[in-house]
Chain A
Amino acid sequence: MATLASDLTSSNPVRARRRMPRALLAASCLVAALLLLPLAFLLLEARQVGWPALSQLLFRPLTAGLLWNMVRLAVVVTALAAAIGTGAAWCVERTDLPGRRALAMLLVLPLAIPDFVVAFGWVSVLPAVSGYGGAVLVMTAGLFPLVYLPVAASLRGADPSQEETARTLGSGPWRTFWYVTLRQARPTILAGCLLVSLALLAEYGAFEILGYQTFTTEIFTEFQVGFNAPAACALSLVVVVIGLVVLVGEGSLRDRGRVARSAHNSRRILPRQRLGRWRWPAVGALGGVIVVALGMPIGVIGYWLVRGGSSTLPQTASVANAAGHTVLYSAAAAAIATILALPVALLAVRSPTRPVRLLERSTYIVQGLPGLVIALALVFFALHYLPFVYQTSGLLIGAYAIVFFPLAYVAVRASVMQAPVALEEIARSLGQRPLAVRWRVTLPLIAPGLAAAFCLVFLSAVTELTATLILVPTGVETLATQFWAYTGNVSYGAAAPYAAAMVAISVLPGALLGRWFDRRPARTGDLP
């Protein structure tokens, strides 16, 4: 996600402040420490379990099987998501594809539908969609927007002169696409791919429904069966190591991914590639993607809503009651994550010294930790050190804020980068005190970014399942937990209203978000 921020705003010059504000530094250190807590707890727990026990739990055929399942899924899904995401972005941004405006919106929306609901959509009507094949289908459908979104943004913001030059030199459209456009977009595509891999590593619900065994499903089972915290801890360590390796890969790509451009703000209109007789096949292909990723889950939810169905499982919370809790927890977490992101973003953008960059990097580590691992680490911590917070709403909200901090950070950092320092300096020179400047100048300037951060976190928290299942307070059900209880019981008709509510709540911020991403980069090919 951090890649998005740097890509979207790299055109903006940054001026370093001479003096590093001490309060900002202190606040940022606190935030970084908070974000590193889960990792620290995990290591602490691993130490308690001890190496002999850990190695026994790690080096066995089961771990190898899980690793193989993860790798063969990650390779295929990432490749497919890259192909679909890039192809869709090119069609929408660079060609005369009919209906591209509507498609541009529809191609983002699958992000608003949690992958476990997509899995439910398929499995509840076609139980044969399961195992490896089912996992490839569902995860590709759910995750390709992670490539589509940044690639579309980078195509829109990219300097068209290279493509122009290639075309005037007689290079055909396919050659131009292959050798110029794709080359320019490559860092963004790769970064999108890494986001897809991280999401695959963290996913739990969809794999459980599809009956596909991965690290997360096994960690959850170990947590549920046989009182086996050490085994859950050992497997969590493997996931964390894989996650961090992927992250480091992303980091090195981000550093290399600077693209040269002829001039800033070059707003030239590149004539759209005519698709000719490929027009309708292209529309058909993208339409197919949307049907699989969006139409199927929404259609199936509708089908079950109409059909209904009784469950022998008693209803513990009405849809309204569960929705109330979901909204409350998600909004609280969104506010907290946004507030936490602010000092780090201000510091990192305005005083990018070497220690500050290190501090910023340390907050990225959270991205490599699946929600499940963070939740289990917090359980361990609460039970041993703060028993009174265990299974309170505070711990759940805190977990959400940590899990989704990276999303808030991307949005906040991007808006801080675009807020001109000069305006603050003018205010200072007019005799305003620093805090007043922050309040009256900086805050209004970055308000849209804060709102976007809030939406991003809120949207993700509404559809969060794994950490919620583990940390939800006693006597409380959220939309996700109640949906999960019914789905686990194969009572699809009873589960559908909760899925519908989740999707309804997440679609509005999702649409707002789509518009925000749409406005960010300079529009190149889309000017009226």
Chain B
Amino acid sequence: MKVRSDDEDVLADQIVEEGSASPADLIYTENSPALEYLQDKKLLAPVPRLTLDRVPSRFNSPASDWVGVSARVSVLVYNTRLASAGQLPTSVMSLAAPRWRGLLGIAPGETDFQPIVTSIARHYGKAAAVSWLEAVKANAEQHVYPDNETLAARVNSGQIAIGIINHYYWYRLKAEIGSASMHSAIAYFAPGDPGYVLDVSGAAVLKSSQHQRAADEFLAFVVSRRGQEILAHGDSFEYPLGSGVVTARALRLFASLQPADLTIADLGSGAEAVALLHQAQLL
């Protein structure tokens, strides 16, 4: 098996460009929009029912052509010396307030950032999303980072007080540098807040694949008990979604998460979020 690793947008774009000549059999992405984009382009093969049934249907493709594998939520990360839990905003919308100027870091180039933008646009409309982005951009000023890993590390080392990331970046940082070096913590937004977004990682087989059977078997394995156990114990710190497997890591219980009411279809292909980021000159 040959693996090409890159940002999900790059890979999705590449497959679209390659079209039916694509040498890829499978695609496994961090977020659902890249898969929805390929679905829009009619490039994905249907996933067998037995595989889909391993995962609650709300985490699968509405059109049944990709299967959810794992999930994570967006959270606030804060430096425990520079901010205290009590001061933190309970809504992502409050991050636009002037009091966070020079204290907030963001990574808008990350595909993980787009679902938050989409979520805000769904709740309050596109205009509100753009003004939120503009305010957040002004607050972040010199603290616009290329990725969530860097953002988490910079908050931890005290370059900046708070940031929006997905929960697992913080846990991975902790696993890498050890608890003794951690000077940060994570905080959850209020239940149902538009900043409290649950993102799904998923996998799909391409219609153009020459190895459909083997690819289908791979998907079945990924969501099987054995496949999900690997995720549950692995270093990704994501929540397994299939076969009733629960994470073995010390994370907040999956069942107790209270993310914004947002479906896979609501998150869409991410194109709208990119357009809004462009409008706010963040891209």
Chain A: residues with CB nearer than 8 A to chain B?
A: 60-62, 65, 127-128, 130-131, 208, 211, 213, 217-218, 221-229, 231, 309-312, 316, 383, 387, 390-391, 474-475, 485, 488-491
Per a CB cutoff under 8 Å, which of A226, A229, A488 touches B274?
A: A226
Chain B: residues with CB nearer than 8 A to chain A?
A: 2-7, 9-10, 12-13, 16-18, 21, 23, 37, 109, 111, 114, 142-147, 149-150, 152-154, 157, 159, 172-173, 175-177, 235-237, 270-271, 273-274, 277-278, 281, 283
- Across the interface, name the chain B residue whose C-beta is closest to A57: B278
Quick check: A127 and B5 within 8 Å, CB to CB? no
- Across the interface, name the chain B residue whose C-beta is closest to A208: B146
Per a CB cutoff under 8 Å, which of B9, B146, B152, B154 touches A488?
A: B146
Quick check: B2 and A226 within 8 Å, CB to CB? no
Residues of B within 8 Å of A130, CB to CB, are: 142, 159
How far, in whole Å, are A488 and B149 apart by their CA atoms in the complex? Answer: 7
Question: Given contacts A227-B37, A387-B21, is CB(A491)–CB(B176) below 8 Å?
Answer: yes
How far, in whole Å, are A182 and B237 apart by their CA atoms in the complex? Answer: 61
Secondary structure dominating the interface of A: loop
Quick check: A225 and B175 within 8 Å, CB to CB? no
Residues of A within 8 Å of B17, CB to CB, are: 383
Quick check: B18 and A226 within 8 Å, CB to CB? no
Residues of B within 8 Å of A128, CB to CB, are: 159
Per a CB cutoff under 8 Å, which of A131, A223, A312 touches B176?
A: A312
Residues of A within 8 Å of B270, CB to CB, are: 226
Quick check: A224 and B109 within 8 Å, CB to CB? yes
Residues of B within 8 Å of A60, CB to CB, are: 281
Residues of B within 8 Å of A65, CB to CB, are: 281
Residues of B within 8 Å of A229, CB to CB, are: 13
Quick check: A223 and B10 within 8 Å, CB to CB? yes
How far, in whole Å, are A485 and B5 apart by their CA atoms in the complex? Answer: 10
How far, in whole Å, are A474 and B237 apart by their CA atoms in the complex? Answer: 27
Quick check: B281 and A224 within 8 Å, CB to CB? no
Residues of B within 8 Å of A62, CB to CB, are: 281, 283
Quick check: B153 and A312 within 8 Å, CB to CB? no
**28 residue pairs A–B, Cβ–Cβ below 8 Å:** A130-B159, A131-B142, A211-B144, A211-B145, A213-B144, A218-B283, A221-B146, A222-B283, A224-B6, A224-B7, A224-B10, A225-B7, A225-B277, A226-B274, A226-B283, A227-B9, A227-B12, A227-B16, A227-B37, A228-B274, A228-B283, A231-B278, A309-B176, A309-B177, A316-B5, A383-B17, A390-B18, A491-B176
Per a CB cutoff under 8 Å, which of B3, B153, B277 touches A490?
A: B153
Per a CB cutoff under 8 Å, which of A211, A223, A475 touches B3?
A: A475
Residues of A within 8 Å of B271, CB to CB, are: 226-227
Residues of A within 8 Å of B16, CB to CB, are: 227
**What is the CB-to-nearest-CB distance from A494 to chain B, in angstroms, rounded to a whole number?**
9
Residues of B within 8 Å of A474, CB to CB, are: 2-4, 23
**What is the CB-to-nearest-CB distance from B30 to chain A, in angstroms, rounded to a whole number?**
12
Quick check: A221 and B109 within 8 Å, CB to CB? yes
Residues of A within 8 Å of B4, CB to CB, are: 391, 474-475
How far, in whole Å, are A218 and B109 apart by their CA atoms in the complex? Answer: 9
